Amino acid sequence: MALNWKLKEALAARLAREKGYYLHSAGGRTRFALAYPNSYFVGMSNLGFHIIYDVLNRRTDTACERFFLPERREFEEYVRTRTPLLSMETQTPLSEFAVVGFAVSFEMDYFHLLDMLEAGRVPLLAAERDERTPLVIAGGPCATFNPEPLSPFVDAFIIGEGEETVGRFMDAYHAAKDDGASRAEILRLLSRVPGVYVPSLYEHIYNDSGELDVIRPIGDAPAQVERQWVKNLDDYPAHTVVVTDETEFDMYLIETARGCGRHCRFCMAGYCFRKPRNRSLSVLKDAVKAAKVYEKRIGLMGAAISDHPEIDALSEYILAENMTMSVASFRADSVTETLVRSLAESGMKTITLAPEAGSVKMRAVVNKGIEEEHLFRAMDLGMAAGIRHYRLYIMIGLPQETEEDVDAIAALTGRLKDYLERNDSRSTLKLSVNPFIPKPFTPFQWTAMADKKYIEAALKRLKKSLLSRKGVELIAEPPKSAYIQAVLARGDRRVGRALYRAHTMGGAKAFRQAMKAEGLEEAYYIFRAYGAQDVLPWDVLDMGVKKEYLYEEWKRAERLETTIPCFDGCRRCGVCD
């Protein structure tokens, strides 16, 4: 097996620029390859990746090393020199590890996962692996809400929050190996671990119309796999572990909270990672202290940063330690003066808000809970702190949306820009507009995506309405990419066949052609509306939220009825039962 010295040197040089990585001797430890199916810059910006790396390496029986998708020219060098994909820590080929674990956060990275397996000399199809090849597992948001499109390539999935599950997984794996179990027996034993889904132990049966009819467990596999979640976040402090300047944000990341109880009907994270939990202020302060030595800006992470009950105290503590801070976004209805002032004093130039829709009607449909007065107040706080640039997240193609609702986006933008200009003529407003994609385990999982003609017409209408507005910029995700994401998000196991064929034909750019070659229609996955009794590809998983509750929320959306957030003693959705 050829190992190119230039590629090894490049990895070693990057490792030398890092601080905080683990380097274990191989003897006596199981070698675990933690892989991120995107670039080093993207992967090292993912806090979940850091957390699992730390959890695994703190074990006395596991040596975890990292793998990333090489940049294009670097990948070409791997191919040209026939060098297998190498790890960061010891520049060891992927195929020499006992377990390969992918952290999958985005649907479009499914194509990269296959690229990495092939580059690492690991058989792509789980059915073609034997006792000599690594066990391939996957976790992360995409693996949690619908693993089926990846099921031909992944031996086992970690469902839910991985901190506790990956430890139990490794305990079961080691016990099975010590007993001399075969690969098939190991997978059967792993399926008994709470939160571990082994797709080969489930049969998907389709009816004559090509619709999924039954998901049947094989042998003693559980009827459903319950997602796992950390009850006390303080048990697992979550912050940057390996410090490097080569990231998307160049910050020291600290997770303040997890889950969300706001009940936004489009948000997969709000349902798959419910219930909302906050880290204690003392644990967060310890993380800030640990970050101080690196002299980096603190990046606070969480589903709703401004909802943390002690966000003001944390913000003041960070500034008192002569450090700076940043957040990706916050909720306009819970933002505080102290938080905004702290962000401004930290040098933050832009405030990001997410009303998601322009009309009162559509905000009721999605149950966002953000109204215009909240946006104006957030801008008041921002302008008082000297911040003049603002960004809005907007979705188009939502259920029940009409042209009037698209016009309402432009009208809302105009009112907000007028408000800014009355205070600062140099202010700017940027709209980030994305097509709505219905995701599993949300109340919108039953609805279809808006068709391409509508999305394109809505974007054109919106752009035309805002064309004359100085200081307003509109950026939009191409609909083509959104439709591929929709197929992968809502797909069944048959979509995995198209992924495999697309890989042989050139990757993502060949996906639509591969779907046709497999006799699959994109429209079936994108534009199909499910009924209450339909079997969904992801029904084998249990997020704790009752399916009946999600369906009732869908009906409430149709009736334009809003739902209040989680509260103490609430037993509505099933998570807290």
Asked if 407 and 420 touch (Cβ cutoff 8 Å), the reply is: no
Provide the total of helices (H) and of strands (E) in the chain, helices listed first: 21, 19
Question: Which of the 8 DSSP states describes residue 150?
Answer: G
Give the DSSP H/E element, type plus range, for residue 431. strand 428-435
| pLDDT by 10s per residue, the chain, length 577 | 567 889 999 999 999 999 999 999 878 899 999 999 999 999 999 999 999 999 999 999 999 999 999 999 999 999 999 999 999 999 999 999 999 999 999 999 999 999 999 999 999 999 999 999 999 999 999 999 999 999 999 999 999 999 989 999 999 999 999 999 999 999 999 999 999 999 999 999 999 999 999 999 999 999 999 999 999 999 998 999 999 999 988 999 999 999 999 999 999 999 999 999 999 999 999 999 999 999 999 999 998 899 999 999 999 999 999 999 999 888 999 999 999 999 999 999 999 999 999 999 999 999 999 999 999 999 999 999 999 999 999 999 999 999 999 999 999 999 999 999 998 889 999 999 999 999 999 999 999 999 999 999 999 999 999 998 999 999 998 899 999 999 999 999 999 999 999 999 999 999 999 999 999 999 999 999 999 999 999 999 999 999 999 999 999 999 999 999 999 999 999 999 8
**H or E element in which residue 220 lies:** none
Tokens at 78, concatenated: 């791997």
Strands 325-327 and 389-396: unpaired
Q: Which residues pair with 139 in a beta bridge?
A: 103
Alpha-carbon span 456 to 462, nearest angstrom: 10
DSSP letter assigned to residue 444:
G
Q: Distance between CA atoms of 272 and 439, rounded to whole angstroms?
A: 11
Q: Where are the beta strands (DSSP E) in 148-211?
A: 156-158, 196-197, 202-206
Residues 6+ apart with CB under 8 A from 12: 91
Q: CA–CA separation, 535 vs 262, rounded Å?
A: 27
Helix (H, G, I), strand (E, B) or coil at 109: helix
Distance between CA atoms of residues 274 and 269, nearest Å = 8
> Which pairs count as long-range contacts for 456-463, CB under 8 Å and 24+ apart, including other chains?
458/396, 458/397, 458/401, 458/403, 458/406, 459/396, 459/433, 461/403, 461/406, 461/407, 462/396, 462/406, 462/409, 462/410, 462/431, 462/433
Distance between CA atoms of 263 and 566, rounded to whole angstroms?
A: 8
Dump the DSSP string for 11-39: HHHHHHT-BS-----STTSEEEEEEESS-
Is the bond leading into 275 cis (omega within 30 degrees of zero)?
yes
Instruction: Give dist(CA 413, CA 564) in Å, integer.
Output: 26
Contact 486, 526 (CB under 8 A): yes
Of 14, 27, 156, 153, residue with least CA distance to 88: 14
- Listed by start position, the domains of the chain span 5-226, 249-477+545-558
CA angle, residues 414, 415, 420, in degrees to nearest 5: 95
Place of tokens 């709000």: 270
Residue 477 CA to its chain's centroid (Å): 17
Give ∠ CA 182-186-192 in degrees, rounded to 5. 150
Which fold does the domain 5-226 belong to in CATH? Rossmann fold (3.40.50)
What is the full DSSP assignment across 294-333?
A: TT-EEEEE-TTGGGSTTHHHHHHHHHHTT--EEES---TT
Q: Which pLDDT value is given to residue 229? A: 96
Strands of the 325-327 sheet, one edge to the other = 251-255, 297-301, 325-327
Instruction: Choose among 428, 354, 443: nearest CA to 395.
Output: 354
Place of tokens 């993502």: 508
Q: Cα separation of 282 and 314, whole Å?
A: 9
> How far apart, in Å, do the first and last CA atoms of the chain sit?
55
Other beta carbons within 10 Å of 402: 12
- Compute CA distances 541 → 101, 307, 457, 536, whole Å: 20, 29, 37, 10
Q: What is the 3-state secondary structure (H, E, C) of 508-577?
A: HHHHHHHHHHCCCCHHHHHCCCCCCCCCCCCCCEECCCCHHHHHHHHHHHHCCCCCCCCCCCCCCCCCCC
Cβ 355 vs Cβ 370: under 8 Å:
yes
Q: Can you tell me whether residue 127 is helix, strand or coil?
A: helix
CATH of domain 249-477+545-558: 3.80.30.20
Distances (CA, A) of 443 to 161, 268, 455, 557: 21, 9, 21, 8
